[in-house]
């Protein structure tokens, strides 16, 4: 949602902080918030004026007309305020249809004034600009300000001037107040623009001899501008509409939504209700709510919400578990139903999102069964068959009743099943598998193919449809004319030769476009180039049918348009932060005639500026917040139409006779499905986007379709909010639109809710009665459009109108031509489980593919929760099991004692020399590590093997020493250059004490110590050194800790695991030496001559 209401306190805080005006603004920051938790003593300390001034108190909960409702206490002292609050604070009250508890109140100084000093001012945004309303008689009884007030429209990108204000708004204001008011109003308008307000009303605004007083204020700001205005706004809290409580779960989902590129929305309507929804898509979520309310479920509808935009499995899991947690808190005598619905996805991997839902269902299977929850599922889109399969499987394994349906079932049919209005089919027919687009499945010579079952929410007889009024005939205006813009816009946006530039590295979308081009039998790909500013110019590889091709990628639009003058379409996948700048830049190139903006969340003020420039230059903008559009047989925008299986199923590879325009991207794909099943298919379809101000409007496209010879009928899927549908009514009545128009506006449920609900699309909110879906549907019906009784009947109405056109010869269904086959991408075939190939690597220690890193089966969160430490992690990654705590401690001690042994040893020496030669950390560390071997540091494995072999063979220590001497071999792990019996190595002593105290058995260590007694009797420095000690102690650990079999313990010794301890530990020291040399700024090392013995041949010695 973009326009969000803020509290009066927040609005006044913005105003007092940022208003620039020469008018004397009084009572700045003099307000106090009161709630049930208020400490009055502390409140009066923070606001001492409460004790000395007369006061006003009122609820601050988005309640309109508080004065008329008796919810304003006036001219009270502090005690009077407290008395006034007693019967109201935390008490339920009714405002209109909404019942709610009065929780938050605002206390301000009372301003004595006369009626003549009260004024009314309001600023609100429209597509063309911002309207400023001013009336010289403000206050409670201001009445119909739309009819009374002076009005001034400030066009987009224009500024409000004081002379304009005086001449057009202040005509009824006394001369002595005009200067103050004009300065204030201009400052207010500048504030409104700078802080991205969409609505700002002050009533009354009091102006007297002391200055200007803002008494009551209501405002909305564009929440999508948070990244622009964060420094000025701070952390804004958006209160819920009066009558609806603010739930922590709503805040949790809002936080998930803010952190995600996907869209996640949740509004709780009735937490005790029995009907819960989990719907994919902003438009689809409205349609499901409409259908539930149409079938009498409004009082039991528990929530409104949506998840869309390809959320990850984890995000879907978090969303689903929130819903399941809420619905299993209170039992309902009739049990509960969960509707997991959605239209046909364009790009969301249905199976991936359903896996998140399945995880949540498994986690909550107990409470779900206890609360007698039945789940109904209907979905389509990429990999939906696998998604439906896993949903069906979890129903069987958990015992929860889950009824699963795909695209063969009408989108909202499951609502009728869930509410008991129609029977549940035992075995619903299933469409072809996603992979079947490899095969030509055409079965009939003509279209439409009667493949859809009667699966509406209620069994119906064939619908007789006739428009309430016949449209007047009239000659169509000149082709290409557009009544709403100064620049001439094209009637035909896409042809079979259309070429596009893609802004953004969206390789999947580009490949989808190329596959569509191929099945449409285009001669060349529709994508000419890509623009991606974050990499240098290069080529990107794609497939054209079976063949690999290279597509150029440029750093900027200037280079791309210069190299590709044939391009006239830009498809922008720029982020919401960069979409405005990149679009404005693109419109500077005259060859660009059409721009599709995919990003959702662009601030409305920026969108309006883009629209203004586009109108001036004759550029058609589709979006923002859209999936795009499609012209079968010619061109598709990005991910529109989904995967190739849906392209073929909906016959989008060749043109039909029906053109449609929708707001919702997901619902546009549902329209592709409905139209393909009831007519000869789609001629063109556009999703204009869900924002309040789409770049092009319903009427823009309806007029294009009217003037396009191949289009014989038009379908419009309108929506609550805005008044654009009334232009269609006017066009039909005036005869400008003569082709049959089938239209339905979604959002009919909004009038049934007691409090305002903001639906998934930013523009889906009615600000007045004429903007409701019910009003618009009736107006369209009266104008002569074909309007069904509900969305359920939309397909029937489309079929009825189409059949009439076929019967009278207007449409002659064409012979079906099978499209060429396209190979499936390897990655997608693998996703579907259609192919297998040997893996290049095998791993069993770590898995990073899920939402959480896993070490040997243990999630990383558990590793930290269990405080396993470095030793525990090493046990998981090296030995694939949890080791006892003492074993983890021993590993960490080994790492500590082997970390370093001074700069003189060969490894440290090499590291230092390398560092002083100016090499980097990795090179220097590697230089040191390469010296590790049998002579330096690599004795752990060798010592372990030698001692183990001798001990296991039953050889006595003396026999072992004698044999090694006889064979001329050194005993690995015995001997030290510096340490001796008389100068013991404290590292060994520390480890020995720990091992003797904690290990269950030390047989091999005891054997090695007996060997040490023999060797030190011959020479005092032939001690068991730290390498030897760690080697034999580790063998004892592996053999006796209980985590390994004897064979496993021996295998780890054999494959070199013990040397890893020294390598890992000593790496810490080598890095320390490297950093030390860099910190000391040591220069290039050259070994001194006097430390080198030059041994040359005798004949050269002179």
Query: Are 81 and 51 contacting, i.e. CB atoms less than 8 angstroms apart?
Result: no
DSSP-assigned beta bridge partners for residue 570: 501, 595
Q: Residue 900 is encoded by which pair of tokens? A: 């370093």
Q: Residue 395 is encoded by which pair of tokens? A: 């129903």
| CA gap 172, 174 in Å, rounded | 7
Strand-strand pairing, 336-340 and 275-277:
parallel
Say how far residue 950 (Cα) sits from the centre of its chain.
63
Buried b (16+ CB within 10 A) or exposed e, 427-440: ebeebeebbebbee
* CA geometry: angle 10, 13, 14, nearest 5 deg: 90
DSSP-assigned beta bridge partners for residue 121: 134, 202
> Per this entry, what is the length of the chain?
1102
Whole-number Cα distances in Å, 292 to 98, 299, 752, 1002? 20, 10, 11, 73
Whether residue 761 lies in the annotated active site: yes
Q: Residue 985 is encoded by which pair of tokens? A: 């190595």
| CA gap 819, 643 in Å, rounded | 15
Whole-number Cα distances in Å, 218 to 115, 195, 292, 757, 910? 21, 15, 33, 18, 73
Locate all alpha helices (DSSP H) within 707-833, ordered by sequence: 724-733, 773-783, 794-807, 826-831
Whole-number Cα distances in Å, 587 to 438, 570, 610, 827? 40, 10, 9, 36
Using omega within 30 degrees of 0 as the cis cutoff, is the peptide bond preceding 729 cis?
A: no
DSSP-assigned beta bridge partners for residue 538: 553
Strand-strand pairing, 55-59 and 73-76:
antiparallel
Query: Are 156 and 129 contacting, i.e. CB atoms less than 8 angstroms apart?
Result: yes
Say how far residue 333 (Cα) sits from the centre of its chain.
37
Backbone angles phi, psi at 100, to 5 degrees: -155, 170
DSSP-assigned beta bridge partners for residue 133: 122, 151
Q: Which of 47, 135, 701, 761 is catalytic?
A: 761
| CA gap 619, 594 in Å, rounded | 6
Q: Is 826 exposed, middle or buried (0-12, 13-18, 19+ CB in 10 A)?
A: exposed
Taking alpha carbons only, the member of 642, 681, 652, 687 closest to residue 668 is 687
Taking alpha carbons only, the member of 92, 97, 84 closest to residue 58 is 84
Q: Is 923 exposed, middle or buried (0-12, 13-18, 19+ CB in 10 A)?
A: middle
DSSP-assigned beta bridge partners for residue 937: 933
Using omega within 30 degrees of 0 as the cis cutoff, is the peptide bond preceding 114 cis?
A: no
Query: Are 434 and 390 contacting, i.e. CB atoms less than 8 angstroms apart?
Result: no
Whole-number Cα distances in Å, 64 to 94, 146, 204, 216, 671? 12, 16, 13, 10, 39
Whole-number Cα distances in Å, 783 to 468, 470, 730, 769, 777? 7, 8, 7, 18, 10
- For tokens 């009303």, the residue is 201
Q: Where in the sequence numbering do the catalytic residues fall?
A: 761
């Amino acid at each position: 949602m973009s326009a969000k209401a803020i509290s009066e306190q927040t609005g006044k805080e913005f105003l007092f902080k940022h208003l620039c005006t020469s008018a004397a603004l009084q009572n700045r920051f003099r307000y106090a918030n009161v709630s049930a938790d208020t400490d009055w003593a502390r409140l009066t300390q923070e606001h001492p004026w409460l004790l000395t001034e007369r006061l006003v108190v009122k609820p601050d909960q988005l309640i309109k007309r508080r004065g008329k409702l008796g919810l304003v206490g006036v001219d009270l002292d502090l005690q009077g305020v407290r008395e006034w609050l007693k019967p109201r604070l935390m008490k339920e009250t009714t405002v209109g249809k909404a019942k709610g508890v009065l929780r938050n109140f605002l206390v301000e100084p009372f301003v004595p004034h006369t009626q003549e000093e009260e004024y009314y001012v309001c600023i609100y945004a429209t597509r063309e600009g911002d309207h400023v309303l001013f009336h010289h008689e403000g206050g409670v009884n201001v009445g119909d300000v739309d009819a009374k007030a002076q009005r001034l429209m400030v066009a987009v990108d224009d500024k409000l001037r004081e002379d304009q204000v005086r001449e057009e708004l202040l005509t009824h204001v006394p001369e002595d107040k005009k200067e103050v008011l004009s300065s204030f109003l201009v400052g207010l308008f500048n504030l409104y623009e700078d802080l991205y307000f969409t609505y700002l009303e002050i009533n009354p605004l009091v102006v007297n001899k002391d200055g200007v007083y803002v008494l009551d204020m209501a405002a909305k700001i564009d929440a999508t501008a948070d990244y622009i205005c964060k420094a000025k706004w701070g952390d804004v809290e958006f209160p819920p509409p009066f009558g609806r409580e603010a739930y922590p779960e709503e805040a949790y989902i809002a936080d998930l939504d803010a952190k995600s590129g996907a869209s996640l929305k949740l509004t709780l309507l009735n937490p005790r209700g029995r009907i819960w929804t989990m719907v994919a898509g902003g438009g689809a979520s409205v349609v499901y709510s409409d259908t539930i309310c149409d079938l009498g479920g409004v009082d039991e509808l528990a929530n409104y919400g949506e998840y869309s935009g390809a959320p990850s499995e984890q995000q879907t899991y978090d969303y689903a578990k929130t819903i399941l947690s809420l619905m299993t808190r209170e039992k309902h005598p009739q049990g509960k139903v969960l509707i997991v619905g959605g239209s046909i996805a364009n790009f969301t991997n249905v199976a991936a999102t359903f896996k998140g839902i399945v995880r949540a269902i498994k986690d909550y299977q107990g409470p779900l069964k206890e609360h007698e929850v039945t789940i109904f599922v209907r979905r389509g889109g990429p990999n939906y068959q696998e998604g439906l399969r896993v949903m069906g499987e979890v129903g069987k394994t958990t015992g929860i009743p889950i009824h699963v349906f795909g695209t063969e079932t009408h989108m909202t049919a499951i609502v009728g099943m869930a509410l008991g209005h129609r029977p549940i089919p035992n075995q619903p027919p299933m469409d072809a598998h996603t992979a079947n687009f490899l095969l030509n499945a055409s079965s009939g010579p003509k279209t439409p193919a009667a493949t859809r079952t009667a699966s509406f929410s209620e069994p119906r007889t064939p619908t007789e449809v006739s428009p309430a009024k016949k449209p007047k005939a009239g000659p169509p205006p000149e082709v290409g004319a557009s009544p709403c813009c100064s620049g001439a816009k094209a009637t035909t946006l896409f042809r079979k030769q259309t070429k596009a530039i893609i802004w953004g590295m969206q390789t999947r979308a580009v490949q989808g476009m190329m596959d569509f081009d191929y099945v449409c039998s285009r001669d060349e790909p529709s994508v000419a180039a890509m623009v991606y500013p974050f990499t240098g110019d290069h080529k990107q590889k794609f497939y054209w049918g079976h063949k690999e091709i290279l597509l150029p990628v440029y750093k900027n639009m200037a280079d791309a348009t210069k190299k590709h003058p044939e391009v006239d379409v830009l498809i922008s996948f720029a982020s919401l932060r960069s979409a405005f700048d990149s679009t404005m830049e693109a419109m500077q190139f005259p060859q660009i005639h059409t721009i599709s903006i995919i990003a959702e969340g662009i601030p409305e003020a920026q969108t309006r500026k883009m629209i203004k420039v586009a109108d001036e230059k004759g550029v058609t903008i589709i979006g923002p917040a859209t999936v795009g559009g499609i012209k079968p047989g010619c061109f598709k925008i990005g991910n529109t139409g989904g995967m190739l299986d849906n392209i073929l199923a909906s016959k989008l590879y060749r043109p039909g006779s029906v053109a449609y325009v929708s707001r919702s991207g997901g619902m546009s794909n549902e329209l592709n499905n409905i139209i393909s099943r009831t007519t000869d298919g789609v001629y063109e379809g556009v999703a204009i986007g869900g924002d309040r101000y789409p770049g092009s409007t319903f009427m823009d496209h309806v007029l294009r379709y009217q003037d396009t010879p191949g289009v014989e009928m038009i379908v419009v899927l309108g929506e609550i909010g805005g008044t654009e549908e009334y232009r269609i009514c006017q066009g039909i009545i005036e005869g400008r639109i003569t082709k049959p128009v089938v239209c339905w506006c979604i959002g009919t449920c909004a009038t049934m809710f007691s409090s305002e609900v903001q639906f998934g699309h930013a523009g889906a909110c009615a600000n007045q009665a004429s903007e409701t879906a019910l009003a618009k549907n009736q107006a369209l019906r009266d104008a002569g459009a074909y309007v069904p009784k509900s969305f359920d009947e939309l397909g029937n109405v489309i079929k009825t109108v189409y059949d009439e056109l076929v019967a009278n010869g207007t449409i002659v269904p064409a012979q079906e031509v099978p499209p060429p086959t396209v190979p499936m991408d390897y990655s997608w075939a693998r996703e579907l489980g259609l192919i297998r190939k040997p893996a290049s690597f095998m791993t069993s220690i770590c898995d990073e593919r899920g939402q959480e890193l896993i070490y040997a089966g243990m999630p990383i969160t558990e590793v930290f929760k269990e405080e396993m430490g470095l030793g525990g992690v090493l046990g998981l990654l090296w030995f694939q099991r949890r080791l006892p705590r003492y074993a983890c401690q021993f590993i960490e001690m080994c790492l500590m004692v082997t970390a370093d042994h001074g700069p003189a040893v060969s490894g440290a020496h090499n590291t230092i020399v390398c560092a002083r030669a100016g090499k980097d950390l990795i090179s220097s560390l590697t230089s040191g590590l390469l010296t590790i071997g049998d002579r330096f540091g690599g004795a752990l494995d060798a010592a372990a093997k030698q001692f183990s072999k001798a001990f296991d063979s039953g050889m006595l220590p003396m026999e072992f020493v004698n044999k090694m001497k006889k064979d001329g071999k050194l005993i690995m792990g015995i001997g030290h250059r510096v340490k001796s019996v008389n100068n013991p190595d404290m590292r060994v002593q520390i480890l020995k004490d720990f091992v003797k105290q904690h290990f269950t058995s030390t047989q091999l260590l005891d054997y090695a110590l007996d060997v040490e007694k023999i060797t030190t009797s011959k020479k005092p420095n032939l001690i068991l050194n730290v390498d030897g000690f760690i080697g034999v102690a580790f063998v004892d650990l592996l053999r006796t800790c209980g985590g390994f079999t004897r064979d496993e313990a021996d295998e780890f010794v054999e494959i070199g695991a013990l040397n890893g301890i020294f390598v890992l530990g000593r790496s810490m020291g080598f890095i320390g030496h490297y950093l030390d040399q860099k910190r000391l700024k040591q220069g290039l090392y050259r070994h001194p001559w006097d430390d080198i013995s030059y041994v040359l041949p005798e004949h050269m010695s002179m």
